[in-house]
Amino acid sequence: MKNTFCNHTLRFIGAALLSLAIVSCKKKADPVFEPSANTITLDCNYFKTNSNAVLKHNPALAVDYIVTCKMEIDDDVTIEPGTVISFQENAGFEINENGSLASNGTAAEPVTLTGASKTKGYWAGIIFYSNDSKNKLSYTKVEYAGGDKFNSNDDRGAIVLYGQTQFKMDHCNITNSSTYGLNANYNDATMTLSNNTYSGNNVPMTVVSDLINMISGTDSYVGNTNNYVRLVNNISGINVPTVMRKLDVPYKMEYVSTVPYLEIFSDMSIEPGVIIEFSTSTGLYVKQTGSLYAVGTVQNPVIFRGAIKQAGYWANITYEFTNSVKNQLKNVKIQHAGGDPTETKGAIYMWAEPTLTLENVEFSDVLPCAVYAAPSGSNPNNNLTYNTLSYSNCGGQLCGD
């Protein structure tokens, strides 16, 4: 006789386990932060009348504090783990020169800085004018910010770093900014970043070229409207040894003001797998005291390409006088370069017999020559070493006067 009780019991247990598995696979809903009658609304002068304020979490409340304006911070403000702050339209925090902000979330109790309306750009965000080592966001979520400008420079972003500021951020989620997740467009700032996530923003990050060294390879930049890290060239160029780290999105170099080229006056190295997209007329310019070391692998080449995939969209890589043996391009792809062929002459342009080694470099969709290495090809630059170059849709290969 069959044991029908056991069969039915096993079927029931199996169905229950399957249902549990299905439920556990569903995405966990985002928490709802709704203020209550006991939520504290901070007066706009609160930090001026409460020295070295500490904002605490009340476990009985979904929202601990409401901010209704741009509040200035002129001393040390600390946010404790688990605290939730809701910002009304265009509100934010401004950390002035004598102030600091430390948001001390933990993995178990993150700090949440959110908009009263779940609308991208609903509140302004946080701007740091402060050169204080205590400026830090740790395990903090900053969401729905990046709207209203902070100053006459039209600085916008969920987090904005002004010139000469110090800032640290780790294990933070910067989401749903209508502009930038992090805006670091001023030189002389110092930022230390690790294990942060930028998602749902218009652009995850914009950074002045001086700060390339400080862009974290442990952060995640995918899942935004525009999936790239924006680079803004500074007139001073690269003046210290610099490493461009591999990210999970490309870098995008944009033509801002009067600085189309990123000028390199020191040693710059590019990690395998890095992709740089260039806006029209932009490029790299290696000066006499500088070098460019871009050595990829067969599996992870370094790629220089146009932001729009068309021949001649961006300018080129120029070498001028530099005799550094570090000038090496190996396992590299150069695409869509050349600009105006009467001006640019080559995707790589060599002036005054600089030293350069090319190995396994692929050129494609280049308007003029792939490499312009004066003097002419019949008497090539003795400082140019090359091996295994390939060409597709190029106006020329190795050229000279």
Of 209, 232, 255, the last residue of a domain is: 232
**pLDDT at 11 (0 to 100):** 43
Beta bridge partners of 199: 175
Same domain, 204 and 322: no
Claim to verify: residue 220 and residue 278 sit in the same structural domain: no
pLDDT of residue 141: 98
Is 133 in the same domain as 74?
yes
Q: Which two tokens stand for residue 264?
A: 């390199």
Domain endpoint, select from 211, 232, 253 = 232
**What would the two tokens of residue 59 be?**
């476990």
Decide if 345 is inside a domain. yes
Q: How far is CA 303 from the centre of its chain?
A: 17
Between CA 239 and CA 73, with CA 164 as vertex, the angle to 5 degrees is 165
Confidence band for 80, pLDDT divided at 50, 70 and 90: very high
Does 285 lie in the same domain as 184?
no
| Chain centroid offset of residue 301 CA | 20
Quick one: pLDDT at residue 400?
81
DSSP SS3 for 344? helix
Q: Is residue 20's pLDDT more than 70? A: no
Beta bridge partners of 194: 170
CB atoms near residue 381 (< 10 Å) = 21
Range of the domain at 258: 234-401
Tell whether 109 is covered by a domain. yes
The structure tokens listed for 80 are 């404790």
Whether residue 38 is predicted with pLDDT greater than 80 in this model: the reply is yes
CA separation for the pair 279, 255 (Å, rounded): 6
Q: Are residues 386 and 244 in the same domain?
A: yes
Instruction: Return the biggest CA–CA distance within the chain.
Output: 98
Residue 168 has pLDDT above 70, yes or no: yes
pLDDT at position 12 is 38
pLDDT at residue number 18 = 39
- Domain assignment present for 151: yes
**178 and 107 together in one domain:** yes
Question: Is the pLDDT score of 352 beyond 70?
Answer: yes
Residue with tokens 């029931």: 12
Kindly state whether residues 242 and 223 are assigned to the same domain.
no
Least confident window among 219-228, 284-293, 332-341: 332-341
Sign for the CA dihedral angle at 31, 169, 125, 197 comes to negative
Q: Rounded CA gap, 82 and 80, in Å?
A: 7
Q: Looking at residue 314, what is its pLDDT?
A: 96
Instruction: Over range 162-186, report the average pLDDT.
Output: 97
In whole numbers, what is the pLDDT of the chain averaged over residues? 91
Per the CB < 8 A criterion, the answer to whether 153 and 182 are in contact is: no
Distance from the first to the final alpha carbon of the chain: 98
Average pLDDT over residues 77-89: 98
Which has the closest alpha carbon to 394: 361, 370, 360, 359? 370
CB 129 within 8 A of CB 162: yes
In a domain, 307, yes or no: yes
